[in-house]
Structure 1
Amino acid sequence: MPLLRRIRLAALPIALSVVLAACGAGGGAASDAPKSPCDTSDDFPSRPIELIVPWAAGGGTDSVARFIGTQLGQRLGVQVNVVNRTGGGGVVGHSAIATARPDGTTIGLATVEITMMHWQGLTDLTYEQLTPIGLVNSDPAGVTVRTEAQWTDVQQLLAEAKAQPGAMTASGTGRGGIWDLARAGMLLEAGLPADAIRWVPSEGAAPALQELVAGGINVSTASLVENHTMIESGRAKALAVMAEERLPNLPDVPTLREQGIDFTMAAWRGIAGPEGLPDDIVGELSCHLDGIVHSPEYEEFMGTAGFGIVWKNAQDFGAYLAAQDAEKGEIMRAAGLAA
């Protein structure tokens, strides 16, 4: 056999092992090949991973979890199984994440409700019983009204709420839900009572939007992502977004801050594990999540669904959780929504 061909054949196993390592091949397979930069734990993962979703299958949180689970499984080289654990307004699923064995084989997609449920008296569980791994999404609240409504900006809407307190109604979720807090926080920041615009509980953003266009309520404070279709079709109009900056897909909608109200509010999702998850496992998972969130595939998936992409690593996500919890408690107490 020619010498050059023998050299090429001998190099094939080495090249293959390097490729597998770079892709984050897991499953506990022993290898002397160079590791992926994300491989910080020698024996993780050794078996399939369970990714808990505290909400029902088919929803936005579920779809984000399934996409991330597939991508994470490919990078780790093990199966990542999404399991929906619903009930109690998110209590059941978040509790399942918190009480899992801290070995990395059970993680979950935590949502903004982890910073709200204990203030409502639904549970003693708080974010401190979770280990943050990475924030992967955030969708800000909005102020949406009927196309025929006379208001052209938020200040006009609030002026009417001040002149006729309690005459107008808003909806977007159940009582004390994230979009209810968006309404209350906006009003309080504007110097109005939290009930200047009354809240009408609903089963979610979609039925609330139907009520809006039918004239049953005056305002929806759900995310503009959820109201986007009606806004695009001209059946509703957005007066503001409760974000730091305008949304790329709705560049003509100003922020509340641009209209003199220094307030933001958003629903978010992030990967977390139980308290006590080892640092090396947290580091490996966070590293892989970083790669997923900054991939063209994730950008395309989230863009198609209309979800916002926001990334925070484990440390920054932990600080964010603490700030979010404090903010939610302050608003809920001021609005009479805390237990």
Structure 2
Amino acid sequence: MHARSRRSFFSRLAHLASAALGGLVLLSAAAPALAQGYPTRPITLIVPWGAGGGTDATARIIASLLEKDLGQPVTVVNRTGGSGVVGHAAIASAAPDGYTIGLATVEIGMMHWQGLTELTGASYTPIGLVNADPAGIQVRADAPYKSLAELLAAIKANPGKHKASGTGQGGIWHLAIAGLLRDQKIDPAAVPWVPSNGAAPGLQDMVAGGVDIAPVSLPEARSLIDAGKVKSLAIMADKPAGLYPNVPTLKAAIGSDWTMAAWRGIVAPKGIPNDARDKLAAAVKKVAASKEYTEFMASRGFGVTYAGPEDFGKFMAKSDAELGATMKAVGIAK
């Protein structure tokens, strides 16, 4: 091979090697983009309750905000039936890959005590608590009780005289007042429960004089409180509500540590990959702190309460134990 040919050959070889090396550099730079990790496809968010309700509305604002953060569509699917059992079961039994999540509600700590399912909060991977609306003790504005202590004294003095309403038999608000009475060493039967199809009819019945107490959330009683027809004696929470900061907690009112709230939180099936759990948890935390979410919840009168995966898991376990003890006390646990 002539000297010129050799130089040409080695020059071409060097050029090819350089091109190959450049290609490897480009591939390595593209690798993170090609392997972005979770999520790489759309996510389904299951809601155990019907379209148009408060839980559905909460799920839809969360889904829209998760989409922005995760870069994938998040589709809300309503799976109703069985008093919440169908939807909660659909979340628990979905493939544990992070592509099906759900908005669990307080009922997950109630249904198994009633023998409706074996599912509990421990059946899921907790992602984040996003809402809690504590029960309050509402009475008519013209009721003679100036404080919760006065109302409890009247109940003790006249068992069976003071009726309460705000949900169905064994619903969250029924359990709230039954648990409070039990905590105060008063027989829960001392306040007969009048079932209703929710807080609104229960409150209207109270204003009309049919019942005396509506142990529903402050947001649900808001319009009647603002209209001067209802007053709130206390809230079953650890701290005062932003909506009415002057309403005392049970601790402040009567020294009780009893709390009870309707709540909602994002969960996933057991055993999802750690990277998916962590990515979802970080995204849900951002949602709960976002202006869009807090303003939306405020417009609905819902409280924003956030807890991360570990604390949410503990919260569900505590809620379950308290609900179970109360349901046994009022005779509705199987």
Settle same-fold status: TM greater than 0.5: yes
1:284-320 Cα distance to aligned partner (Å, 9 max, x none): 0000111111112222112222211111111111121
Q: Please tell me whether residue 135 in structure 1 is matched to residue 129 in structure 2.
A: yes
Q: Determine helix, strand or coil for the equivalent of 1:289.
A: helix
**1:151-230 map, 5 Å:** 151-230=145-224
Q: Please tell me whether residue 58 in structure 1 is matched to residue 52 in structure 2.
A: yes
1:313 to 302, 308, 311: 308
**1:1-339 map, 5 Å:** 32=32, 42-260=36-254, 261-339=256-334
- The alpha carbon displacement at 1:58 in A equals 1.2
2: CA distance, partners of 1:74 / 1:262: 40
- The alpha carbon displacement at 1:46 in A equals 2.2
Greater Cα shift, 302-311 or 236-245: 302-311
Same amino acid, percent of matched pairs: 53
Q: Given residue 271 of structure 2, which amino acid in structure 1 is its aligned partner?
A: G
Q: Which runs of 4+ in 1 moved over 2 A?
A: 30-33
- The alpha carbon displacement at 1:322 in A equals 1.6
1: CA distance, partners of 2:95 / 2:332: 33
Residues 138, 215 of structure 2: 8 Å contact kept: yes
User: Which structure 1 residue ranges, 5 or more long, are not aligned?
Assistant: 1-29, 36-40
CA shift in 2, pair 1:197/1:32, >3 Å: same
Q: Determine helix, strand or coil for the equivalent of 1:180.
A: helix
| TM-score normalised by L of structure 1 | 0.86
Q: Determine helix, strand or coil for the equivalent of 1:95.
A: helix
1: CA distance, partners of 2:122 / 2:331: 24
Greater Cα shift, 256-265 or 236-245: 256-265
| Aligned-pair Cα RMSD in Å | 1.6
- The alpha carbon displacement at 1:102 in A equals 0.7
- The alpha carbon displacement at 1:42 in A equals 4.2
Q: Given residue 75 of structure 2, which amino acid in structure 1 is its aligned partner?
A: N
2: CA distance, partners of 1:338 / 1:193: 16
How many residues are paired up?
A: 304
Residues 120, 176 of structure 1: 8 Å contact kept: no
- The alpha carbon displacement at 1:188 in A equals 0.7
- The alpha carbon displacement at 1:43 in A equals 3.0
Partner of 1:6: none
CA shift in 2, pair 1:138/1:31, >3 Å: farther
User: Which structure 2 residue ranges, 5 or more long, are not aligned?
Assistant: 1-29
CA shift in 2, pair 1:131/1:32, >3 Å: closer
2: CA distance, partners of 1:239 / 1:285: 39
2: CA distance, partners of 1:42 / 1:268: 34
Q: Which has the larger radius of gyration?
A: 2
Q: Given residue 112 of structure 2, which amino acid in structure 1 is its aligned partner?
A: H
CA shift in 2, pair 1:125/1:32, >3 Å: closer
1:15-66 Cα distance to aligned partner (Å, 9 max, x none): xxxxxxxxxxxxxxx7646x9xxxxx94322221111111111111111100
Q: Given residue 292 of structure 1, which amino acid in structure 2 is its aligned partner?
A: V
Q: Given residue 331 of structure 1, which amino acid in structure 2 is its aligned partner?
A: T
2: CA distance, partners of 1:93 / 1:129: 13
- The alpha carbon displacement at 1:222 in A equals 0.9
- The alpha carbon displacement at 1:335 in A equals 2.4
2: CA distance, partners of 1:31 / 1:151: 69
Q: Given residue 285 of structure 1, which amino acid in structure 2 is its aligned partner?
A: L
Q: Determine helix, strand or coil for the equivalent of 1:159.
A: helix
Q: Given residue 93 of structure 1, which amino acid in structure 2 is its aligned partner?
A: G
Residues 54, 91 of structure 1: 8 Å contact kept: yes
CA shift in 2, pair 1:31/1:179, >3 Å: farther
User: Per residue, is there more helix in 1 or in 2?
Assistant: 2
2: CA distance, partners of 1:57 / 1:280: 31
1:48-102 Cα distance to aligned partner (Å, 9 max, x none): 1111111111111111100000000111111111111111111111011011111
Q: Given residue 225 of structure 1, which amino acid in structure 2 is its aligned partner?
A: P
Residues 38, 275 of structure 2: 8 Å contact kept: no
2: CA distance, partners of 1:231 / 1:143: 12
